[in-house]
Each structure stands twice: as C-alpha cells, then as structure tokens.
A and B are shown apart, each in its own frame.
Chain A
Amino acid sequence: MSVPGAWYLGLAAMLFTIGGVGLLIRRNVLIMFMCVELMLNAVNLTFVTFARMLNDIGGQVVVFFVLVVAAAEVVVGLAIIVSIFRRRTEATADDISLLKG
C-alpha cells in the first residue's frame, strides 16, 4: 500500500508554511536559521514527490544541488552566528540592524 503523492505535497506545504511563518515571527537568529532549513527541506520533499509521480529523475537530481547549497549555507550562517555570540550575549535579530539605511 503506497501513500498518495498529494499527501506528501500537503506535508511539504505544511512544513514550508511553518518554516516561513517561523522565519517571520521569531526573533532568535538560530531559530530563524532552522526555519530556513525547514523551508529548504520542504522544497526537497516536493521535488522528490514530483520526481516519483512524474517518473522523472531530474527532480531527485535537483535535491542533491539543494542539499549542497544548504550545507554551504549552514557553514556560512553558523559562522556568522558564532561570531555574533562572541560579541553579544544573545542573538536577537532586531538588535542587529547595523545596515539600517
């Protein structure tokens, strides 16, 4: 018995929404970062689902690219977060508005 593709897509949409809303409403940089990861993986799930549904290997290939990019992003992002914590005790996004015009 296999789970219908629409369920996967619904799950992916839910994960994406959770990630997006979390990114918008949370202030903690680390949480926001994890929300971004959540959104990326929701997209990955969509890709895989469609690849299976349409019998096209291309979707799964793209997932590898996304994973690589996400890994690179994690490296850079975490490095930034670590250096923020070196200077301040907490990492609230609103406090770090140095690029305000």
Chain B
Amino acid sequence: MIHAVWLIPALPLAGFLILLATGRRLGDPKAGYLATAMMVGSFIVAVGVFFDLMGMPGDERRFEQELFSWMSVGGLDVNVGFLVDPLSVTMALFVTGVGALIHLYSVGYMHGDERYPTFFVYLNLFAFAMLMLVLSNSFLLTFLGWEGVGACSYFLISFWFERPSAATAGKKAFVVNRIGDFGFMLAMFLIFATFGSLNYVPVLEEAGTLAKGTASAIALLLFVGAVGKSAQIPLYVWLPDAMEGPTPVSALIHAATMVTAGVFLMVRVNPILDVAPGVLTLIATIGALTAFFAATIACAQNDIKKVLAYSTVSQLGYMFLAVGSGAYIAAIFHMVTHAFFKALLFLGAGSVIHGMHDEQDMKRMGGLRKWMPITSGTFIVGWLAIAGVPPFSGFWSKDDILLGAWEKNRLLWLIGLVTALMTAYYMTRQVILVFYGGERWKAADRKTPSEAEAKPDHEPAAADGHGSGAHGDFKPHESPSTMALPLVVLAVLAAIGGILKSPLEHWLEPVLAHPHHFASSSSTKLGLILVTTVAALAGVGIAYLIWTGRRVKESAVEPQVLRRAWYVDELYQKVVEAPSRALANFSAFVVDAKVIDGTVNGVGALVRAGGSRLRTVQSGFVRNYALAVAVGAVAILAYAVARSA
C-alpha cells in the first residue's frame, strides 16, 4: 500500500475538482458528504501506508516516491515526489483523521449556508495543500503546499466576505503570512546555493557538514517562515482575527493543522537546527514568550472563540519551546494531542454558537450543560486535556515539553509552568461561564433585544428561521448527529491520547539526527510532574473560586489592557501601518501625481507647444508654399552645384 501514497493528497484534490465542476448540482448536503468521503478515503490510505512503514525495519523506515518532473532549470531539478517517513506519516495521519472528522462536522454546521458547496471546495483544496506540505520530498514542494494552505486560509477566513470584519481578517492573515513566506523563500535560496539541491534527503544528510554561520542563517530564515505560519511573536496578530471564519475552519486550519506547519517544518529540518544552537535558543525563547503572552490575553477575552484562538497561539508557543529545547518528539506529541483537544474545543464552541443561535459572548451564556449534554460533556473532556489534568492527553505532552525546557533553561521552564497555570485558569473560566452558573442568556435577551438583533449575523448556518434573540421562546438546542459524532470521537482521542507517548517516541526516533533523551533522573522527572500537576490544579482552583461565586469584580481579573490584547494591534497600527500609509500616500499623491504624471503631462505639453509654434508655418496661402518650394529647390541645387565644384 505504500506505493499508493500519492493517493493521500490525490483524493482531496479529486474531491476539489469534482466539487468545483458539480458542487452546485450536488448541493446541500451531498457535496459535504462527497468531500468527507474523500477525506475518509485519504485517511484509510494513510493508515495503510502507516502499517506498511511499520513493517519495515526500524532504521530503514523511509520511502521516496517520485511521480513526475515538475521543472528542470539549469542545476535545479524539482520532481513532484513524496517522502514517506515516520514524521510525514504521523502528520498525514492526524491531518486526514482530524480533517475527516471536521469535514463531517461541517456537513451539519454549514447546513443551510448559501454557498455550502463552495465551502467544501475550499476545505478539500486545503486538505490537498496541507498533505502536499507534509508529504513532499523537497522544500519547494513543501512551499507549494505552504502557500496553498495560506491561500485556503485566506479564502475560508473571509468565507462570509459580506461582513467587512471577515474580509479584513482574511486580508490581515494573508499579509502577515506573506512576511513569513519571504523568510521561507530566502531560506530555500540559501539552501540551494549551499547544497545545490532542494530535496530533503540529500540536504538533511549533509546538514552536519554545514558551517555554523550558514546553518544559523538557514535555520533563522526557516524560523521566520514558521513564525508567520504558526502565529508566534511578533506575527501572531492574524490568528485571533482569523476567528471571523466559520468555526470548522477555525478548528481545522487555525488550531489542528495549518498553524502547526511551522512546528512540522522545524522538526523536519532538525539536522540543520542541531548545527545552529543559537537559533535553537531563540526558538525556545520566542516560543516561551508567545505561550505566556497569549495566555495572559486569553484570560480576559469574552468571545468564546477568541479565548480558544489565543489559547492556540499559546499552545503553539509550547511546541516551539519544545523544538527550541531539542525535544522534537515532545513537540510532535503535543502537536498531535493539541490537534485532538483543540479541534474538540473549537468544534464544541461551534456547537455552542450553533445552539445559541449565533451568540459568541460567553457573558451571555451559562448553564448550557442542561441543554447541550453531548457538547458540554465533550467540551469538558477537552478542557481537562488542555488544562493538563492527568491522565488526559494534554497532561502527558505538556509534561514532556516542560521537562525539555527544564533541561534547556530553568527560566524558560518557569515561564512554561506559569503558562500552564494560566491555561488551566482561562479554560476553567470558559467552561464555568459557558456551561455552569445562571442562564444569563435569558436575562440578556430580555434586557437588550435590540442589541441582540443589531449584532452582525454571525454564522449564517443557523439562519433557518431563528433570528438571534428575536424569539420569546428562545431555547438553546443540542446539535445534530453529524456534529455530535466528531465531538465524541475527538473527546475519546483527547482523553486517551496520552497512550501514544512511548510508541511515538520509538516511532519518530529514526527521523531525528540526535534523538533527545531526557537526562534528568527519575526523581527529578517525578518532581516536575508533581509541580506541573499542582500548577494545573491551582489554575483550575483559582478560576473556580473567582468565577463560580463571582465574589471578585470582573474588572479586577479582566484588566482592560488584557481585554485589548496588550494594545498590540494599536501598536502595530502606529509603528507599521501609519508609516506604510504615509509612504503609500507619498507615493500616490507626490511620486505618482507629481513626478510620474508630471513627466507624462510634460511631454504632452512640450509637443503641444511645439505644434502651436509650427502651425504658423501653415498659412494657407498658396504663394507661401510655392515660395518655400522654390527656395527649397534653389537650396538643393546650390548644394549639388557646390558639391560638384
């Protein structure tokens, strides 16, 4: 089955093409089921490839398949080919697996949307690009997927482009990602100049011979790309805004798969990183700071999806902390568990939004566990997993990362620990606000019906007759089975994902140049586990005390500076946008209007003035013309005579 690896990306591509041609005719919900079937097929092939790879001896688990030559220019030969090794198969498995579940969820969630088939066209195209990214055997093909997922992210964030905020968020994501993409491109140029090849296998095999400076430059540029795609400081600003997209998109692209592409890339090039220890430290520092910074913001957000968005940024920071600490396996492990529990949380949030008829403000929810038993039950599993409560999956992966950080640098470990506490805090706050306490949506409905109606119509999926807050008999409802099933499956995975820990370690080891073994003694490990667990439980406890009794004033625990995300957007507006705007204005109204238009108009004016001088020659009097002819003839004659003489 390993020779059928090309089918993994080919099936979503086929789905994309079929839906492009016949999507409208298939309509709602057949188009969605077709897209889901393609993803399931892709997942089955991935499982088959996985078992074939398992059958190989441990250190020979690598298979390269070249399909056809893409381009051949000078010394550059790029083939479309796939590199099957434990890393790419791990990625392919969870991308197709989680992707299939989210496709299924979307069938229910997007039901009734005007552009239902288009949504699945994009979703399948995204899956294709993401699978090209992880399975390709060269940097260039990975870059193709990299740009593909970026484009799909843009399409899907601004899927409801009638809303200006969605259109703007899409543009923001696209522009910010572009900055990172430049880093990736420059890294590729440098790799090609150094190795004369862009294929992973030769480049990574020779990485050990690199000069330290070159290795650092390549690693740094690739990291710039990863920072853009994986939303790290300073380029994380697009991810919270990306929540304008439909919720399945947030779950699939902006939590489980695309944003982890940066982490994947870093792990993929780990032989290069090993030669550049300075860059590793930088990666760990950026990761830890992002994790902490985003967690502080998540503590004060009221939008159910914004909390999860900042949480995603924070968890991605954890993954980079692991990469920077050399604990690559921990990074991939956390990526996988994060895909389970964050996809679960996002889908749960989508289910809540769906059930609440497009309400996203957590302060207007509460007590929903009675109305939505499946959603609340699965969401609570996701909460325990992300909070790091044993024995849920998040506990195991976070613990590995913190262990790696402990061995790298005690300060980074401390930041990670505080972040773990805050993660537990803000997730507990969210669960309490949404599922427990009084049913505030009743009061909110009665008090401000006009405000509720004026709210922009968020998910049009629910526009099946229930307007937001317009009904007296408003009741939250549980979501249909297509949405509930993925929730349950993901909840199971999020709960038991921890058992993947030791198989994953053995499985991924051959991919790494220098497998990182935790050197700490088992008593240190146990101590760290205890400290991490205590931190997680403390976070849960603090949130419980603050948010169940509501004894503390909201403004005290949600300072304005955190609500506004440390004013980073405003800062960027001042530092980046204002000068750019000034430059653009200068170009438009000075350079363009005066210099360029001036030159063009100047030439015109010159010709015009010359013409008006010249027109006096044309007097209209025949005798003048005749005289001119005579004078001309005499002149020519004179010249001829003078020459012959």
Q: Which residues of A contact B (CB under 8 A)?
A: 20, 23-25, 27, 32, 93-94, 96-101
A22 CA / B616 CA spacing, docked (Å) = 25
**Residue of A at shortest CB range from B633?**
A20
Closest-CB distance, B426 to chain A (whole angstroms): 83
Q: How far is A24 from B622 in the complex, measured between Cα atoms in Å? A: 8
Q: How far is it, in angstroms, between the C-alpha of A25 and the C-alpha of B616 when the chains are bound?
A: 21
Q: Is A99 touching B620 in the complex (CB atoms < 8 A)?
A: yes
Q: Is the CB of A101 within 8 A of B623?
A: no
A96, B618: Cα distance in complex, Å: 13
Interface residues of B (CB under 8 A from A): 614-623, 626-627, 630
Most chain A CB within 10 A, of B614, B617, B619, B620, is at B620
User: Are the CB atoms of B630 and A98 closer together than 8 Å?
Assistant: no
Shortest distance in angstroms between A95's beta carbon and chain B's nearest beta carbon?
10
B621 — which chain A residues lie within 8 A by C-beta? Answer: 93-94, 97
- B626 and A101 within 8 A (CB): no
The closest CB in chain A to the CB of B619 belongs to: A100
Query: In the bound complex, what is the Cα–Cα distance between A94 and B620 (angstroms)?
Result: 8
Closest chain B residue to A23 by CB distance? B626
Q: A24-B627, A93-B623, A100-B618 are in contact. List 18 more A-B contacts (CB 8 A).
A: A20-B630, A23-B623, A23-B626, A24-B623, A24-B626, A24-B630, A25-B623, A27-B623, A93-B621, A93-B622, A94-B621, A96-B620, A97-B619, A97-B621, A98-B620, A100-B620, A101-B616, A101-B617
Q: Does B622 contact A32, Cβ atoms closer than 8 Å? A: yes
How many angstroms from the CA of A61 to the CA of B622 in the assembled complex?
31
For B622, the chain A residues whose CB sits under 8 A away are: 32, 93, 96
Which 7 pairs from chain A and chain B are nearest by CB?
A97-B620, A100-B620, A101-B618, A101-B615, A93-B622, A99-B620, A23-B626
How close is B201's CB to chain A, nearest CB, in angstroms?
77
CA distance A81 to B626 in the complex (A): 18
Cβ–Cβ < 8 Å partners of A98 in chain B: 620
Contact status A99-B630, CB under 8 Å? no
CA separation between A24 and B623, bound complex, in Å? 5
A96 partner residues in chain B, CB cutoff 8 A: 620, 622
Residues on A with C-beta less than 8 A from B626 are 23-24
Give the complex CA separation of A82 and B378 in angstroms. Answer: 105
Contacts of A99 in B (CB 8 A): 618, 620
Complex alpha-carbon distance, A32 and B614, angstroms: 27
Write out the residue numbers on chain A whose beta carbons fall within 8 Å of the beta carbon of B623.
23-25, 27, 93-94
Q: How far is the CA of A94 from the CA of B621 in the complex (A)?
A: 5
A94: chain B residues at CB < 8 Å are: 621, 623
Bound CA span A101–B621, Å: 11
Complex Cα distance, B620 from A100, in Å, reads 4
B455 to chain A, nearest CB (A): 70
A46 shortest CB reach to chain B, Å? 14
Q: Report the nearest A residue to B615, measured CB to CB.
A: A101
* A20 proximity list for chain B (CB < 8 A): 630
Residues on the A chain within 8 Å of B630, using CB: 20, 24
Q: List 7 A-B contacts (CB under 8 A).
A: A23-B623, A25-B623, A32-B622, A97-B619, A97-B621, A101-B616, A101-B618
Residues of A within 8 Å of B614, CB to CB, are: 101
Write out the residue numbers on chain A whose beta carbons fall within 8 Å of the beta carbon of B618. 99-101
CA distance A58 to B626 in the complex (A): 29
Chain A nearest CB: distance from B261 CB in Å?
Answer: 70
Query: With A and B bound together, what is the CA distance between A32 and B625 in angstroms?
Result: 13
Contacts of A23 in B (CB 8 A): 623, 626
Complex Cα spacing A99 to B619, Å:
8
For A100, the chain B residues whose CB sits under 8 A away are 618-620
CA distance A24 to B633 in the complex (A): 14
CB distance from A6 to the nearest CB of B (A): 18
Inter-chain CA distance A17–B627, complex, in Å, is 13
CB distance from A3 to the nearest CB of B (A): 26
Q: With both chains docked as a complex, state the minimum distance between the C-beta of B619 and any C-beta of chain A, in angstroms.
A: 6
Q: Given the complex, which residues of A lie within 8 Å of B620, measured CB to CB? A: 96-101
Residues of chain B within 8 A (CB-CB) of A32 are 622
- The distance from the CB of A23 to the nearest CB of chain B, in whole angstroms, is 5
How many angstroms from the CA of A25 to the CA of B630 in the assembled complex? 13
> From B611, which residue of chain A is reached at the shortest CB distance?
A101
**Closest CB in chain B relative to A80 CB, distance in Å:** 12
Residues of A within 8 A of B617 (CB): 101
| Distance A24 CA – B616 CA, assembled complex (angstroms) | 19
Minimum CB–CB distance from B108 to chain A (whole Å) comes to: 79
